[in-house]
Amino acid sequence: MKDVQQIKQRFGIIGNSFVLNRAIDVAVQVAPTDLSVLITGESGTGKEVFPQIIHQHSSRKHGSYIAVNCGAIPEGTIDSELFGHEKGSFTGALADRKGYFEEANGGTIFLDEIGELPLATQVRLLRVLETGEFIRVGSSKIIKTNVRVVAATNVNLEKAIADGRFREDLYYRLNSIPIIIPPLRERVEDIYLLFRKFANDFADRYRMPPIKLESDAKALLEKYRWPGNIRQLKNITEQISVIAQSRSLDAEQLRQYLPSHAGENLPAIISGSGSGESSSFSSEREILYKVLFDMKRDMNDLKKLVLEMLQHGGDINLKGEHAQIIQNLYDNESEIIKPSASPANVGYSARHDEHAIEDTEEFVEESLSLEEKEIELIEKALERHGGKRKNAARELGISERTLYRKIKEYDING
């Protein structure tokens, strides 16, 4: 097996994290086979390098390597681009044309952004993967091809399947060998290495001293979430190299170049009012984080409220913000407090005795296990929707398939 370090040098890969080395190792192991490979990872993580590693370490390395961005080709012409067309098959078809699958015969074709393929094209692709056959647009002649297919996507294909935007049979056919490229925030030890590499590259390009970071700036660089991953880090390094007056930056100076909306490297909370993935949680883990963060915030507010009650002799009218805290806890069906009257009654008089304070302490010590909270959320969703898993999955922001798996995994009755 090729040494991982040699592969990094050859393909310009920077980093020593375990997850990155594992992805390279899998790519090298699968290269000699003809299995289809599906590469998944966020935008900007460098997915396009791995199909090249697979091609160069396969028996097809002397054949053609064609990379196709499926999201950049209009829906009306993508069949022609991939499979070719006959003269006169549509307006503008002035001559016969070979498609990428015909040109790449004996080699490798990399289909980037595979999740953007139209459903009709997905059917054609499935036939190529299963039989090695396709038909040009406007023709009835079957053409054989021997092509290795490597696909990549930054979208959740399981969710796309649940939404009817991607074929399940094609997903399993492409996903013979999955390779997961980690986001930059999961490769913290590699962030500064990449920054130094980019800083030196831009220093050579623009003929100026390289940018250096002080210790607090380095810490900030590694705590930042980097939603755009390596691509974003490279762009920001270039901005700093060109614009910064000083060649040595502290944390305050570096912060001016980091978009504030991305925050530091904390669990992501995604919200939005749009459609598709931007309006829902991208994973069950983020749902759980949101619930836990909301509970923690309400607990902090409640502790302040109890302290204020004690300072006022235990008698205080709940109004305004205080009443809203109780209302939030009540709406979330929390066990933190159980007022005898509706919390909407802002005139509720709270006289906390020793037992009430003990209840509060019990909640603080309550287990915050993600698994327990996940089970609780699933059970509540199923109960709310009368056991209808499809509706429960929609409310939880996960696919119905994932919900089935969780129910089986946790042995939930529902």
Predicted pLDDT of residue 352: 43
Spell out the CATH class of 369-410: mainly alpha
Bridge partners, residue 40, by sequence: 153, 180
Q: What is the CATH number of domain 4-182?
A: 3.40.50.300
Residue 108: which H helix or E strand, with range? strand 108-112
Integer Cα distance of 253 and 276 in angstroms: 37
Give the three-state DSSP class for 345: coil
Predicted pLDDT of residue 323: 55
Cβ within 8 Å of residue 66, ≥6 positions away: 100, 103, 104, 107, 108, 109, 110
Sign of CA dihedral 26, 27, 28, 34: positive
pTM: 0.62
Burial 332-341 (b: 16+ CB within 10 A, else e): eebebbeeee
Predicted pLDDT of residue 392: 82
What are the average pLDDT values for consecutive 10-residue runs of the chain, which has 414 residues?
82 93 95 95 95 96 96 92 92 90 96 95 95 93 96 95 95 94 94 96 94 95 95 96 92 91 50 41 56 70 70 55 54 45 42 44 50 82 84 82 82 76
Structure tokens at 381: 């969703």
Neighbours of 391 (CB within 10 A): 15
Predicted pLDDT of residue 394: 82
Predicted pLDDT of residue 338: 43
SS3 string of 136-172?
CECCCCEEECCCEEEEEECCCHHHHHHCCCCCHHHHH
Between helices 370-384 and 284-311, what is the axis angle to 10°?
100
Q: How many CA atoms lie within 13 A of 227 on its CB side?
A: 12
Integer Cα distance of 167 and 404 in angstroms: 19
Q: How many CA atoms lie within 13 A of 131 on its CB side?
A: 11
Q: Architecture of 185-262 per CATH?
A: Orthogonal Bundle (1.10)
147 neighbors 109 (Cβ within 8 angstroms): yes
Predicted pLDDT of residue 406: 83
Bridge partners, residue 378, by sequence: none
Cβ within 8 Å of residue 73, ≥6 positions away: 81
Cα 24–Cα 46–Cα 62 angle in degrees, nearest 5: 65
Integer Cα distance of 328 and 110 in angstroms: 50
Give the three-state DSSP class for 374: helix
Predicted pLDDT of residue 143: 95
Predicted pLDDT of residue 10: 93
Distances 366 to 209, 292, 371 between C-alpha atoms, Å:
54, 12, 14
Predicted pLDDT of residue 268: 45
**Per-domain boundaries in the chain:** 4-182, 185-262, 285-364, 369-410
